[in-house]
Structure 1
């Protein structure tokens, strides 16, 4: 008979913190290996309904069904990239106009600084030249090397993630049987419920992200069309895609939009209109779309989400920020199903109790 050891709270808390530190250390040290695996896992879960349809109902062989699922996903990504590249080609044809309007816009900025801050144009250019030379001298080679390394990593990830996704789909039952062997037979029902809830949660999250991307793209494109921006369809789509990257995505999208706008006019008033469009879309996204579409699906409170995104970004960059929410959702599901970890699952949840009061029973002390 196995005897259960009851540990005091401080011992349990210490073990939990040590485990978290160990997992975080392992992830940071092996992020280049672990991140593509986790991304492929998410894509495999998303493609699982298609795989089940092909393999179970249509009786396709497992290998063929997995290959078709990966090809469908790859075709979707390639289709978006082809559309973007086709639109970017039109922008490239306006490069001379963009260059000319950029010079006009920079000149207006110089005049604005001169008139309001009393700094001559010569002093401004001298300062910019000094900053540029120092930047190239101190970090130019490193930046070039980092860029080449990042491109290499991106190409490797684009090759290895589809392979991982294929293998996840192919060995799905094998992995489930492995997990079943790790737990006792009486806990198999709990394991089955956890896996089913994880699958539903990840599917809902990714579908919600795609829906959010579409809505943001449509709203941004519509706003840019109203203010008279050229290539509003492409810029709306780019904004929707980059909006999937928390915090920095919308900033990059805004910079690209401003640059592309120079193909039409250097007028500063249109830049204010673009800024207004981005602010309005972000207000709608943060206050309406995210609570209704994202948070309602993963059921993680905003405080934990922000901390998770920051930690994920510090650990693995943009990929870590993207993986933070689904990983937190998986941890929340597991914690809620394990009695000793249930308080942590509640802490991560989005529950809003109406009112809580401490009930203290008065004890009469007899002399």
Structure 2
């Protein structure tokens, strides 16, 4: 008969339960404190992305704080210049929203008539069955809501404030350089844990900066290509749509659908026939398909490929918690979790789930490769 304490038998279950409670509490904090947590996370991602440039300046003999100030000033100037350049076309698009709505209503009148016929038929069927759902004859009061863009100014002001917080945090992280990493490493209790913490920090920095810099360059090129193509096609404000396409392309899978839908609705209002209007979203979707299936996998390689299900769930969850900004940061956060899972044995199974499925040919090639040397194999000890 075992002399083990009964409480020790349930210890693994207790640990899993406590870990689940911890995750729930973290999710609650992330959701309800998003005005604080979101700009902090954005600032960390920006710092990780621009850290190679600061390190390059340090190798050239430029002090870190000066290099960080130059990099962040240049980054902020580029963002401000892009926003200022696009403010005119964006204002024009916003002002033309009523005309676009009227044109859509006119050109889609046949579809609208069919929908109204269906609605009348359903109302008649409800009256026959006595389920009219009118609340006992209660009058329906229709309250005219505010215009679509009434709260746009306050939303933009709040977003600019959060962006400013993120940029200042990134500036502080980049200016102190190694001190930020050293402060995190010192919290690890043992020497092995410190080594793993250092490896995780530098791997996260390398992978996140590589991913975000590469994706940003790809999306900018994609936006320029879409803008030029729509300009040749005769679309109004083509380069604004190119900028929107570049921004939406940070959203895997759903960004292209949203962009094609927006361009399609605008094109229906602008072009004389539906056949010519469909050319604009087809151009948009064709270019994004080439980018997503050929260019991005070629430049990023298989190392940063993710499980499609994990990416989709991550985008949905972060969009639910933080809105559009959360959806934009979903994949970089997933990259951070993937790097941590690759370096911590207790998270290996989660890392395997995040990784892209391995095809039979790749698995066979991996099995024929020689094993790693012992020094490398033991570098990923569990925390």
Q: Using structure 1 for the length normalisation, give the TM-score.
A: 0.76
Distance (whole Å) between structure 2 residues aligned to residue 90 and residue 22 of structure 1: 44
- Displacement after TM superposition at 1:203 (Å): 0.9
The aligned residue for residue 181 of structure 2 is 176
Matched, 1:196 2:202: yes
Residue aligning to 1:279: 285
The answer on whether the counterparts of 1:51 and 1:66 sit within 8 Å (CA) in structure 2 is: yes
Q: Does 1:22 align with 2:28?
A: no
Cα gap change, 1:27/1:58 in structure 2, threshold over 3 Å: closer, same or farther? same
Residues 141 and 224 from structure 1, CA distance in 2 versus in 1: closer, same or farther, beyond 3 angstroms? Answer: closer
Aligned position for 2:82: 80
Aligned to 1:243: 249
Q: 1:1-367 to 2 correspondence within 5 Å?
A: 10-60=13-63, 62-85=64-87, 87=89, 103=102, 105-111=104-110, 113-114=112-113, 137=143, 140=145, 147=152, 149-183=154-188, 184-225=190-231, 227-246=233-252, 249-250=255-256, 253-254=259-260, 257-258=263-264, 261=267, 265-293=271-299, 296-352=302-358, 354=360
Per-residue deviation, 1:246: 4.6
Aligned length: 335
Please, which runs of 5 or more residues in structure 2 have no aligned partner?
Answer: 1-7, 119-139, 365-383
Q: Which string of whole-angstrom CA distances, capped at 9 and with x for unpartnered residues, describes residues 28-51 of structure 1?
A: 121110110111111111221222
Q: Is the 8 A contact 1:227 1:270 kept in 2?
A: no
- 1:175-204 alpha-carbon deviations (Å, 9 max, x no partner): 212222112223333222211211111011
Single out whichever of 266-275 and 160-169 deviates more from structure 2: 266-275
Shift of 1:82: 3.1
| 1:283/1:310 CA distance change after superposition, 3 Å | same
In 2: Cα distance, 1:189 partner to 1:278 partner: 47
Q: Measure how far apart 1:225 and its partner are.
A: 4.3
**Alignment partners' CA distance in 1, 2:16 and 2:297:** 32
Aligned pair in 2 of structure 1 residues 108, 342: CA closer, same or farther (>3 Å)?
Answer: closer
1:275/1:136 CA distance change after superposition, 3 Å:
farther
2-structure distance, mates of 1:193, 1:310: 30
Q: Is the 8 A contact 1:101 1:265 kept in 2?
A: no
Does structure 2 retain, via aligned residues, the 8 Å contact 1:102–1:262? no
Aligned to 2:130: none
Residues of 1 paired with 2:205 and 2:98: CA distance?
A: 49
